[in-house]
């Protein structure tokens, strides 16, 4: 009797549950309940990079890709903002904009027209160590593209009207960023403090300086650094090395080799004392925090464990900082860590965009996370997750133009194949112990901290640091506040 009623109870309650869950539950296949397991990683087969050196010292590399009828040409000049004269930071950038703005008997409009005629786009990027021009066009116009490039290289004019145009545009955009873009302001300020007297500091130039640059300064820089033995051309497309070097040579063999010693830039010392700075950005709604220090150069083999470390700490959406400051505390809209690599050193930094009232609390939490990750080993599962993210992400970063961009980075920094053909292995080999060693070696404490936000809100909060330096939006030190003041 008892058993019967129990049975009835089970039947009835099961029915009730099933009815309330609805009919569809019954019809759902089992495989829908859980995400499927991934298959093993597909093999990454990267195309070889073939290289040759022309008689004038110009290096030419070719990555043969047959899928698309487009060619990407990258001209790398091994001189960037770090090589600008000490008194004229910004010169390398200014020059890079002028490069495609005129040649002998060729106005900037005519150049634009020629580029667009071959279905092309042209862009420039200046880093502290090098400069890259990227030129993409329809493959049937390789000759036209090289001819245009040779005229830009061999017959620059730096005409007054173009100098003024570029100057105006550059000053306007820098001023605009300085007045409105908290990320630009914060990162620039952080880099200025970290690089103090180091040549890399020149990358953080103020817009006013552009007005001091004259034609003869441009020519001096151009004559010194824009020479074939200080340059490298990388071509990606449906072509082979012998065709490519023959064609490049036809248009650029009159580019004269010059005596040039590539000077070695020694790395700066990391900051040794914690410094907290507030840069005023009136009416900013959020507080933007950039916190960082100087770490290893890109050429170091420690880059690989460091990359895993960075992913665990500050990976977007999954890193410890994100899980704590955004998901758990609700302080930050966004928070991540990143590394900006240079030849002789790099900057490791953490970025957080937070509600102003929790600015100082956020900094404390960031410090806590750094302390945590440098004092205890990271569980193997987490390390493996970070590695599989990096290995999965790598091919995604190589699609289309990014492919040649990666190759020019490897070329510019003279990196080995562990950054290219063997990248997967380089990451796969990293274990928890290695990450732990790296975390301790490059432990961020004591970092330089830059906060960008509205001074009126941020200074109203109780200051919990020994000292706070207050800067105006131009980056000029106004005054210092001691704890309790």
Partner 1 sequence: MDNREISTNRISFLTLLLILLIVYAHSQIQEGKKLPFSLSQFKLENGLHVILSEDYSLPLVSVVLAYNVGSINEPPGKAGLAYLLEGLMMYHGSRNVDRMQHIGLIHRIGGEVNAGTGADKAIFLQKVPSNWLASVLWLESDRMYSLDINPANVERAKEDVIGIIRNRKQTNYYLESFHAFDELLFPGYAYGHPVLGNETDLKSITVEDVKNFYSTYYTPNNAILSIAGNIDPTKAEKLVRKYFETIPKGKEVPAPPEPEPYERKPVVKVIEDSLASLPGFLLGYRIASPYSDDFYALKLIEYILSKGNSSRLFKRLIKKELIVSDIRGQIETKGTLAAFKIYSRSSNDILREKSQKAVLSEINKLKSTLISDKELRKSKNMLKKDYISRYATSMNRARFLAEKYLARKTLDDLPGELERYLRVSSSEIAGIMNRYFTEDKVLLVVKIK
CA dist 131 → 227, 361, 402, 413, 466 (Å): 13, 40, 16, 12, 41
| Number of Cα atoms under 13 Å in the Cβ half of residue 177 | 16
| Binding-site string for partner 1 from residue 377 to residue 396, where x marks contact by CB under 8 A and - marks none | --------x--xxxxxxxxx
Report phi then psi at 275, rounded to 5: -140, 135
CB of 387 to partner 1, least distance (A): 10
Report phi then psi at 466, rounded to 5: -60, -40
| Binding-site string for partner 1 from residue 297 to residue 336, where x marks contact by CB under 8 A and - marks none | -------------------xxx------------------
* CB of 38 or CB of 484, closer to partner 1: 38
Q: Which residues, 90 to 149, sit near partner 1 by CB under 8 A? A: 109, 112-113, 116-121, 136-138, 141
* CB of 90 or CB of 120, closer to partner 1: 120
CB of 69 to partner 1, least distance (A): 6
Among 2, 3, 4, 32, binds partner 1 (CB under 8 A): 32
Q: Which residue stretch of 26-34, 75-83, 170-178, 182-190 sits at the interface with partner 1 (rule: CB under 8 A)? A: 26-34
* CB of 91 or CB of 98, closer to partner 1: 98
CB within 8 Å of 229: residues ≥ 6 apart: 56, 57, 58, 257, 258, 260
Which structure tokens are listed for 113? 């027209």
CB of 25 to partner 1, least distance (A): 9
* CB of 318 or CB of 443, closer to partner 1: 318
CB within 8 Å of 148: residues ≥ 6 apart: 111, 114, 115
- Residue 418 burial (10 A CB sphere; 0-12, 13-18, 19+): middle
CB of 395 to partner 1, least distance (A): 4
> How many residues belong to the site for partner 1 (CB under 8 A)?
50
C-beta neighbour count of 395 within 10 angstroms? 15
Nearest-angstrom CA–CA distance, 12 and 268: 76
Nearest-angstrom CA–CA distance, 222 and 96: 10
Of 346, 370, 362, 365, nearest in space to 445 by CA: 370
* CB of 236 or CB of 293, closer to partner 1: 236
CA dist 322 → 75, 163, 315, 369 (Å): 38, 45, 7, 10
User: Which residues face 61 on adjacent strands?
Assistant: 51, 234
* CB of 14 or CB of 397, closer to partner 1: 397
Among 42, 105, 160, 283, binds partner 1 (CB under 8 A): 42
CB of 52 to partner 1, least distance (A): 24
Q: Which residue stretch of 30-38, 88-96, 249-257, 371-379 sits at the interface with partner 1 (rule: CB under 8 A)? A: 30-38
Footprint of partner 1 (CB under 8 A)? 24, 28-29, 31-36, 38-44, 65, 67-70, 109, 112-113, 116-121, 136-138, 141, 316-318, 385, 388-396, 398-400
């Amino acid at each position: 009797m008892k058993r019967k009623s129990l049975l009835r109870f089970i039947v009835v309650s099961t029915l009730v549950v099933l009815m309330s869950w609805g009919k569809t539950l019954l019809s759902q296949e089992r495989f829908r309940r859980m995400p499927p397991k991934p298959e093993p990683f597909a093999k990454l087969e990267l195309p070889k990079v073939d290289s040759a050196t022309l008689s004038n010292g110009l290096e030419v590399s070719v990555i043969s890709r047959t899928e698309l009828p487009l060619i990407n040409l990258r001209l790398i000049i091994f001189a960037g903002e770090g090589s600008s004269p000490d008194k004229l930071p910004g010169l390398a950038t200014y020059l890079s904009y002028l490069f495609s703005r005129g040649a002998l008997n060729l106005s900037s409009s005519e150049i634009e027209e020629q580029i667009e005629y071959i279905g092309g786009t042209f862009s420039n990027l200046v880093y502290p160590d090098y400069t890259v021009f990227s030129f993409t066009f329809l493959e049937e116009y390789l000759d036209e593209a090289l001819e245009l490039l040779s005229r830009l290289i061999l017959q620059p004019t730096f005409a007054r009207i173009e100098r003024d145009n570029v100057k105006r545009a550059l000053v306007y955009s820098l001023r605009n960023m300085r007045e409105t873009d908290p990320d630009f302001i914060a990162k620039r300020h952080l880099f200025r403090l970290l690089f103090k007297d180091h040549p890399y500091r020149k990358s953080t130039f103020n817009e006013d300086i552009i007005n001091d640059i004259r034609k003869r300064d441009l020519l001096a820089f151009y004559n010194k650094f824009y020479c074939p033995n200080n340059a490298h051309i990388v071509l990606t497309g449906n072509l082979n090395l012998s065709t490519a070097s023959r064609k490049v040579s036809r248009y650029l063999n009159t580019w004269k080799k010059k005596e040039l010693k590539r000077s070695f830039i020694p790395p700066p010392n990391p900051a040794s004392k914690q410094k907290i700075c507030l840069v005023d950005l009136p009416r900013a709604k959020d507080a933007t925090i950039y916190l960082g220090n100087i770490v290893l150069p890109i050429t170091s083999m420690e880059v690989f464990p460091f990359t895993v470390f960075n992913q665990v700490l500050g990976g977007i959406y999954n890193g410890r900082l994100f899980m704590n400051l955004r998901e758990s505390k609700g302080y930050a809209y966004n928070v991540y860590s990143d590394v900006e690599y240079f030849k002789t050193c790099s900057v490791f930094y953490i970025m957080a965009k937070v509600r102003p009232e929790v600015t100082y609390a956020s900094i404390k939490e960031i410090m806590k996370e750094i302390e945590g990750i440098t004092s205890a080993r990271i569980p193997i599962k987490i390390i493996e997750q970070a590695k599989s993210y990096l290995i999965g992400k790598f091919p995604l970063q190589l699609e289309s133009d990014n492919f040649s961009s990666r190759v020019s980075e490897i070329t510019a920094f003279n990196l080995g194949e562990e950054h290219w053909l063997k990248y997967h292995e380089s990451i796969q080999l990293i274990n928890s112990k290695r990450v732990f060693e790296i975390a301790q070696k490059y432990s961020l404490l004591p970092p330089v901290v830059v906060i960008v936000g509205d001074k009126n809100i941020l200074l109203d909060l109780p200051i919990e640091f020994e000292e706070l330096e207050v800067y105006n939006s131009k980056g000029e030190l106004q005054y210092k506040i001691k704890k309790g003041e």
